[in-house]
Amino acid sequence: MNEADILHYEQIQEMLLTQGWKNVEKEMATLVDAIEGIEAVKSVEDLYYKKGQLNIPRLILNLPHTVDSALEVLKEESQDD
């Protein structure tokens, strides 16, 4: 178990509590809403392009859950050592 990894994820958790992060989340949610509309999709290629556009904002919006899960696993591993 690496204490540096735990510190890394704890620092990210701390950042996720800031107003700046809340602003990023709002911007990403707005972006996702704007991209998700499939009315303008005219081909399978357009659909795959739109799907690709959604990957990064969704990764960013899922960051809090991802960090919480990783930190939980790391702390459990730390207790087992």
* DSSP conformation class of 17: T
Please compute the mean of the pLDDT values over residues 14-31 and round it to a whole number: 96
Question: If pLDDT is split at 50, 70 and 90, which confidence band does 20 have?
Answer: very high
Tell me the pLDDT of the chain averaged across its residues.
91
| pLDDT of 1 strictly over 60 | no
Q: What is the pLDDT of residues 47-79, one digit of tens each?
A: 899 889 899 999 999 999 999 999 999 999 888
CB 63 within 8 A of CB 16: yes
Closest CA to 38 of 28, 46, 30: 46
Looking at the structure of the chain, the number of domains it has is 1
Q: What is the pTM of this model?
A: 0.75
CB 35 within 8 A of CB 52: no
* Res 35: pLDDT: 84
Domain range for 72 is: 3-80
